[in-house]
Chains A and B, each alone.
Chain A
């Protein structure tokens, strides 16, 4: 079974620029999550999708972050404009149903300079 694919692996941008991350979940997994992992901390949920609908985006900074999951498969997470404090690893995960176990991707490491 193929895992959760994320791209790019690394991204360096200047503050106030925009950036987008892409995630392809495991085939058939209905639930998709984006987590932010700041260096030295545990991951924090940004947004959760069930198929193409948002289940929880209460911790997503909506003034600069946006996410979509078109057709209930792939997802993109965008930051515009980026701030220095957005430097982190952005993890995507998927699960078969809402109560299922997670599979995480390898993440995208973002550095904002």
Chain B
């Protein structure tokens, strides 16, 4: 079956540090890949997505590249801010039904 594995948190960084959150997946065929963010007390928000191999999704300074050869979709940001503190979820879906399979989430804490 489909599964998503993320690095465990929490990840603690100082403001302006470089961020990488690793995500790998197991799936048949060619899934679409997503990063969702959950700020404290809020619902999940779509951060970025990629629908085919070598696509790069980007939003708010975050980016991730769909790597089929390594089945990965790592999230990166060059310079994090305190406001980026949240839980980040990697997810995949297949066209059939568009059901999302999520990873366990990675908590990011950015200190001033």
Taking beta carbons and an 8 Å cutoff, which residues of A are in contact with B? 3-4, 31, 33, 35, 40-45, 48, 55-56, 91, 93, 95, 98-102, 104-107
Partner of A42, one of B49, B98, B102: B102
Nearest 7 Cβ contacts at the A-B interface:
A42-B102, A104-B43, A104-B44, A106-B43, A98-B98, A42-B104, A43-B102
How far is it, in angstroms, between the C-alpha of A4 and the C-alpha of B43 when the chains are bound?
A: 10
Chain B residues within 8 Å of A, Cβ to Cβ: 4, 36, 41-46, 49, 89, 91, 95, 97-105
B105: chain A residues within 8 A (beta carbon):
40-42
Q: How far is the CA of A40 from the CA of B105 in the complex (A)?
A: 7
* A98 CB → nearest B CB, Å: 5
- Which residues does chain A contribute within 8 Å of B89, judged by CB atoms? 42-43
B43→A101 contact, CB < 8 A: no
Q: Which residues of A contact B41 (CB under 8 A)?
A: 106
Q: How far is B97's CA from A33's CA once the two chains are assembled, in angstroms?
A: 11
Q: Which of A44, A99, A104 contacts B45 (CB 8 A)?
A: A104
| Residues of chain A contacted by B45 (CB below 8 angstroms) | 104
Which listed residue, B44, B97, B101, B103, touches A91 by the CB 8 Å rule? Answer: B44
A95 lies within 8 A of B98 (CB): yes
Which one of A3, A45, A104 lies within 8 Å of B99 (CB-CB)? A45
Residues of A within 8 Å of B43, CB to CB, are 3-4, 91, 104-107
- Per the bound structure, the CA–CA distance linking A102 and B36 in Å amounts to 10
Inter-chain CA distance A57–B75, complex, in Å, is 31
Chain A residue contacts of B46, Cβ below 8 A? 101-102
Is B100 within 8 A of A56, CB to CB?
Answer: no
Shortest Cβ distance from residue B48 to the other chain A in the assembled complex, whole angstroms: 11
12 extra interface residue pairs, beta carbon distance < 8 Å, beyond A4-B43, A43-B44, A43-B89: A3-B43, A33-B99, A42-B4, A43-B100, A45-B99, A48-B99, A56-B99, A93-B44, A102-B44, A102-B46, A104-B45, A105-B43
CA A100 to CA B44, docked complex, whole Å: 16
Query: For residue B6, which residue of chain A has the nearest CB?
Result: A42
Q: For the complex, give the distance between the alpha carbons of A94 and B41 in Å.
A: 19
